[in-house]
Amino acid sequence: MAQLLSPVCMEALKIHNPSLNLCSRSSWRMLVKGASPCTFLTHSGSKRRGFGKVRVTAEDSVSPSETIADDYYEVLGLLPDATPEQIKKAYYNCMKSCHPDLSGNDPETTNFCMFINEVYTVLSDPVQRMIYDEIHGYSLTSINPFLDDSSPRDHAFVDEFSCIGCKNCANVAPGVFAIEEDFGRARAYNQCGDPELVQQAIDSCPVSCIHWTSSAQLSLLEDEMRRVERVNVALMVSGMGTASIDVFRMASSRWEKRQSKVLAKAKLRMMREEGSDKKNSYWDNLWGKQKDYQSSGTGDVKVHK
């Protein structure tokens, strides 16, 4: 049974760096529908919706404590083996705490409430949850996206920790890149934009901060980006910013740690079942009730419980 943790939304929320995307849901959802068109990351106007670091602080605490949710499960206070019933219950409890009707019209709270809805949409749907688990290393069959050469790298990603805000990419491919307001760095707003223009921007970037990535890599990289505090590009150039950050290495390392926990659990289960008369492999049904995923032949995946 899944262990229940303290959901991040059960405390007073302070959401920083609102221009960062917590996780690019459009990126990994395209893995389910392989032929679907690329999706803009902007949801309204020119800025994409995002939530940056999620800082959870008790209102009555003298020294605020900071918690950064590691994944969608942790946002709801769950572990990856949570049952659908537990996910639903955690979602409703969370919504009671941050719903605009109860907490007022604070924009940050409203944005977070919208994010919780997206989290629940993913985790409550068996297919989307399967894809999420596969990408983030919660499945025994997962392959580290940074070591997988089989997936096409057709999504533009800007390493904002390396970007110097030169605006070159925004001038070369204005339909793909723009300079975000808060920190003066480039960002890919249409990550599946014109590949020729994107390649021109990559070739002409003075610091090589633009990369082609796969859908899975992009999801992990954007998830990692929101974990690190950033400073304005002017401070970074003047030497007052943070030390050099390798976001690719950090994202890959975090994936490996998650996968190690999954494999350790599988090994423990194997040891417990050794000598028993059970015939099922310990690789089966790791997180609970077994599901039989079958392709429908149209790019979608059907789930039979």
202 within some domain: yes
Give the three-state DSSP class for 212: strand
Q: Is there a single domain that holds both residue 246 and residue 177?
A: yes
212 within some domain: yes
Domain final residue pick, 142, 164, 179:
142
285 within some domain: no
Q: Is there a single domain that holds both residue 84 and residue 166?
A: no
Q: Is there a single domain that holds both residue 129 and residue 163?
A: no
Q: State pLDDT tens for residues 44-86.
A: 333 333 333 333 322 333 233 344 566 888 889 888 888 999 9
| Residue 140 and residue 286 in contact, taking contact as beta carbons nearer than 8 Å | yes
Query: Taking the chain, what is the end-to-end CA distance rounded to the nearest angstrom?
Result: 18
Which has more confidence, 285 or 236? 236
**241 band by pLDDT with thresholds 50, 70 and 90:** low
Q: Is there a single domain that holds both residue 192 and residue 234?
A: yes
What's the domain count of the chain? 2
Q: What is the pLDDT of residue 214?
A: 94
Phi and psi angles of residue 56, each rounded to the nearest 5 degrees, phi first: -110, 120
Query: d(Cα 218, Cα 214) in Å, to the nearest integer?
Result: 6
- Residue with token string 């690329």: 38
Question: Which CATH number does the domain housing residue 197 bear?
Answer: 3.30.70.20
Answering whether pTM is above 0.85, one says no
Q: Is there a single domain that holds both residue 75 and residue 98?
A: yes
259 within some domain: no
Domain final residue pick, 251, 280, 297:
251
Q: Is there a single domain that holds both residue 180 and residue 192?
A: yes
Domain final residue pick, 251, 272, 295:
251
Phi and psi angles of residue 292, each rounded to the nearest 5 degrees, phi first: -105, 105
Question: Which CATH number does the domain housing residue 115 bear?
Answer: 1.10.287.110
* Cα 121 to Cα 13, 35, 95, distances in angstroms: 21, 21, 13
* Identity of the amino acid at 39: T
Q: State pLDDT tens for residues 1-15.
A: 444 444 444 333 333
| Residue 199 and residue 187 in contact, taking contact as beta carbons nearer than 8 Å | no
Q: Is there a single domain that holds both residue 167 and residue 241?
A: yes
Instruction: Write the DSSP symbol of residue 55.
Output: E
* Cα 109 to Cα 51, 127, 189, 250, distances in angstroms: 10, 29, 24, 29
Q: Is there a single domain that holds both residue 136 and residue 170?
A: no
114 within some domain: yes
161 within some domain: yes
Structural domain boundaries, residue 199: 145-251
Q: Is there a single domain that holds both residue 99 and residue 171?
A: no
Percent of the chain exceeding pLDDT 70 equals: 62
Q: What is the pLDDT of residue 47?
A: 35
Q: Is there a single domain that holds both residue 106 and residue 161?
A: no
101 within some domain: yes
When pLDDT is averaged across residues 166-174 and rounded to a whole number, the result is 94
299 within some domain: no
Q: Which of 102, 129, 111, 98 has its CA nearest to residue 32?
A: 129
